[in-house]
Amino acid sequence: EPIAEAPELPEFAPVPLPDTWIVGAAQMGQTITDTSDITVEVMGAIMNFAPQQLAELTPEMWRALSPEVVASALKTAVALPELADTFTPELLAQLQAIQQAAQGQNPEPAPLPGAWVTQAAYVGLTISTTADITPDFMGLMVDNAPEMLDTLTPEILLAFTPDVLAALPPEYVAALDPGLQQTIANTAVAAARFAASQVATGNTTSETGDKAAARLPDPLIQGAQMAGLTIEYAQDITPEMMRLFAGLGPQGIQALGLLTPDNLRLLQPEVIALLPAEFVDTLPADLRGELDELAAEFGGAGALAIAEAAAADPTALPAAIVQGAQMAGFTVETAGDITPDMIRLFGGLGEQGLQVLALLTPDNLRMLQPEVIALLPAEFIDTLPADLRGELDELAAEFGGASALAIAEAEAAAALSEGAPALSGIWVEPAPDGTASMFQTAADILNNAFVPGAANFLNFFPTAPNV
């Protein structure tokens, strides 16, 4: 059998060497022109016979040398007094990042900016250091909050793993300091060469490959943990969990979009059949065909989801709302169970409340109590189709129409806030991330977003910890 050719490995972009190095090598019968010509042996000869020439290497040249060459020379070079100005903490950190990638080692984690921690918390994820960031998470951040990239310092960037660095947008990397750009590029090269060496030496197994294919993206794993679910691999997703994803509406579709093609192929057949039709429609035709075959006993990909939707009680609330209400101490099953006080709480939750309300189906909305329809936030009503808004206006006509009570109560709260006594002490202290307290005046206690009225809110305090 013909011998398979070794894959072509990426190379470190070479940088021209100092003229003195080129001339000196020529005098010894050697030809060198750039950093790619410097081997461990050549570097050893320089250190033994002309160590002073190391001072002629610029930071750009040091970063372009192969990690093996740098490792052989760094200890000696750093000790030379004439190189004290060259080996700044920044350069040493950059060389270390390339070295670690070349050895398959992860960098030491660094704390993330507070803005990243807060942004992740908004979507139910807990992160604190660079070790918590995966390529998938970086992709989500780039797509949904690209301005967060501006908060990353060079130290934080170098603490990301090579695969996370590879997920940074090219236009962002192109705007970085040239030294950082070169470091990120060479870190990727070093990591690719290390991975190739592992394959060549047989240090991978099919079992490892299967596990990697089945492992779910970290944002999905963390999001499930926040909901009290423990999952790590595609096979861990049960039919009940898939129904929960489907009940999350657009957010659920977005979460399912994190699944890789390999994840999808390794789902249980029944789970594949419960994939929302809106999600299945976004998949490539060939992948849909594969999933149809895998779930053939249940009618194909998305078939059970379609059947269950057709048979569902139009008044039944999405599972995500039912479970969320239970966690808040409410028992609801149908749209008619939602009370005016509950809808006021949703309205007080701002953007998060609007996301929850967006899970309600048109049938759910039509089945709400008229007073509840009148308490729906105006920002939510504005997102609905005109014909549905017209229906809701008629249903809540006795209260002035859809969102009429919400608007009136907001105006009354604003009037109450004018001239209300200012709060002090712990009430007005900002959150650890610097976010301003939502309690600035006594009116904010009355109009709190947690429970209806000031009395109910203050009644929490006798049993609250640290109060």
Among 179-193, 331-345, 410-424, 426-440, name the one with the lowest average pLDDT: 426-440
Q: What is the pLDDT of residue 197?
A: 74
Among 160-169, 237-246, 347-356, name the one with the lowest average pLDDT: 347-356
Q: What is the pLDDT of residue 431?
A: 63
Mean pLDDT confidence for 313-341: 79
What average pLDDT does the chain have?
Answer: 82
Q: What is the pLDDT of residue 313?
A: 72
Q: What is the pLDDT of residue 438?
A: 61
* Contact residues for 459 (Cβ-Cβ < 8 A; gap 6+): none
Mean pLDDT confidence for 339-363: 82
Q: What is the pLDDT of residue 427?
A: 65
**16 has which bridge partners?**
34
Of the candidates 161, 181, 171, 153, the one whose C-alpha atom is nearest the C-alpha of residue 103 is 161
Residue 225 pLDDT class (50, 70, 90 cuts): low
Select the more confidently predicted residue: 9 or 407.
Answer: 407
The position carrying tokens 């920002």 is 379
Residue 275 in this model has a pLDDT that exceeds 80: yes
Of the candidates 227, 209, 111, 102, the one whose C-alpha atom is nearest the C-alpha of residue 160 is 111
Among 137-141, 241-245, 315-319, name the one with the lowest average pLDDT: 315-319
- Work out the angle at residue 271's Cα, subtended by the Cα atoms of residues 265 and 272, and round it to the nearest 5 degrees: 45
Is 188 exposed, middle or buried, given 0-12, 13-18 or 19+ CB atoms closer than 10 A? middle
Domain ranges across the chain: 114-204, 218-311, 319-413, 419-463
